[in-house]
Amino acid sequence: MEEEPGQSRIYRALAIAGTLGWPVAAGAALGVYLDGKLGSAPLLTLVLTLGAFVAAVRRLLQLVGSDEDEDG
């Protein structure tokens, strides 16, 4: 099965969205849950969301760096 031109760009865009989206959403959800249980709102929500965002951006930069090494 052959790929259409531009199809790999679509897959790459979906990978980027997943790399950023899921960890941040999971961090926020876990933070909301823990804040509700511990009564620390919004502290854990902010900390976990920010931490997940930083980790996701770091992973994204690693992915981009490895793509540049393969291309160049």
The single residue listed with the structure tokens 């992973």 is 59
Query: What pLDDT, in 10s, does the model give residues 21-44?
Result: 999 999 999 999 999 999 999 999
Structural domain count of the chain = 1
Give residue 1's pLDDT: 54
Give residue 12's pLDDT: 83
Does residue 57 lie in a domain region?
Answer: yes
Arithmetic mean of pLDDT, 6-17: 84
Show the domain range for 57: 20-62
Does position 13 have pLDDT exceeding 60, yes or no? yes
Does residue 12 lie in a domain region?
Answer: no
Does residue 72 lie in a domain region?
Answer: no
Tokens of residue 19, six digits:
């790399």
Query: Considering the entire predicted model, what is its pTM?
Result: 0.78
For the range 16-19, what are the long-range contacts, defined as Cβ-Cβ under 8 Å and sequence gap of 24 or more? 16/60, 16/63, 19/56, 19/59, 19/60, 19/63
Does residue 40 lie in a domain region?
Answer: yes
